[in-house]
Amino acid sequence: MKNQRLFRFFLLTICILSFAAIFPAQTKSLVRRTTYKTQNVRFEAGGTISIVGAPNGSLSVEGWDKNEVEISADIEVQAETETDLARLSQINGFVLDENIGRLSIISVGTHDKNYLKRLGQKLSKSLLSMPLKIDYRVKVPNFSNLEIDGGLGDLYISKIVGAMRINFLRSNAKLDLDGGIVNATFGSGTVDVSINPRIGRASRFDVQMANGSVNVELSNNADVEINVKILRTGKIENASGLLKSRSRAKFTDKLISATVGKGGAMLSFIVGDGTIKIHDSKFLGGNRER
């Protein structure tokens, strides 16, 4: 019931956004400006990085072997005049909130009424409706926890081990998962998931999609338990030769419960309406062969 209520919420939100897109507010031609902002923060491994993305924009988060977080952002604003562009460029961007063991990266701008109120900014309805997009590239310590909230845009996560909570409204996402506890929920789009064969037995990955497709890449030397489910319409396309049924029940195009290798890490993939594709990958010298 909880999963179904969550999927209904995402589907309703998507329908509202799609309806709004049919009747755009802007009819005049707009000029565009992109500003670039980079900031580095000293941050020890094992902490939590929270990222609140803009309503539109991509997000790339990659682990590295430094006790430091590097944030690079491309902030794109549009307006009818250069004067309006200059004003919006001063308002839209991101702010940091630093605490012991926690760093929050928060997108701010015309979409955030509380932020505008704190700034004492009063904007016309036309300025509030101007398009805004922020594309982030963030590097964090390899062993970090992530909390990510995104709107519409691509998502890429790689080389990170830790607890991750991910919520995205619509995304073409690529998750290269090296271990930890991952809970990822998407409203719509496509999610490609690659599983590192060296993940620990205590790892738990839970990926849910309301409407779209999830592609799962398994390695021939992985030890995992995998559960795959279609809740309503669509099907599972199983092209893997690694899956072994955990019971006498046969695999169906709606439900698979299987073991790979010796079992261990728990993987769960659920789609409301759409497809889940499972295929194998090959590893040479510990590296993925693409």
> What is the tens place of the pLDDT at every residue in 157-191?
999 999 999 999 999 999 999 999 999 999 999 99
Shared domain for 204 and 140, answered yes or no, is: no
Q: Which of 153, 174, 197 is the last residue of a domain?
A: 153
Q: What's the rounded Cα separation, in Å, for the pair 6 and 271?
A: 12
Model confidence, pTM: 0.86
- How are beta strands 204-219 and 265-281 bridged, if at all? parallel
The total of structural domains in the chain comes to 2
289 assigned to some structural domain: no
| Structure tokens, 127 | 């300025």
> Containing domain of residue 83, as a range?
30-153
Contact 190, 167 (CB under 8 A): no
Contact 229, 3 (CB under 8 A): no
Q: H/E element holding 2?
A: helix 2-22
Residue 214 pLDDT: 98
Q: H/E element holding 19?
A: helix 2-22
209 assigned to some structural domain: yes
- pLDDT tops 90 at residue 20: no
DSSP 40-108: EEE--TT-EEEEE--SB--EEEEEESSSEEEEEEEEEEEESSHHHHHHHHHH-EEEEEEETTEEEEEEE
Q: What is the pLDDT of residues 78-125, one digit of tens each?
A: 999 999 999 999 999 999 999 999 999 999 999 988 888 888 878 888
Q: What's the rounded Cα separation, in Å, for the pair 236 and 192?
A: 15
The backbone torsions φ and ψ at residue 92, rounded to the nearest 5 degrees and listed phi first, read -85, 140
Residue 200 pLDDT: 86
Shared domain for 173 and 263, answered yes or no, is: yes
246 confidence band (pLDDT: 50, 70, 90): confident
Amino acid at 105: I
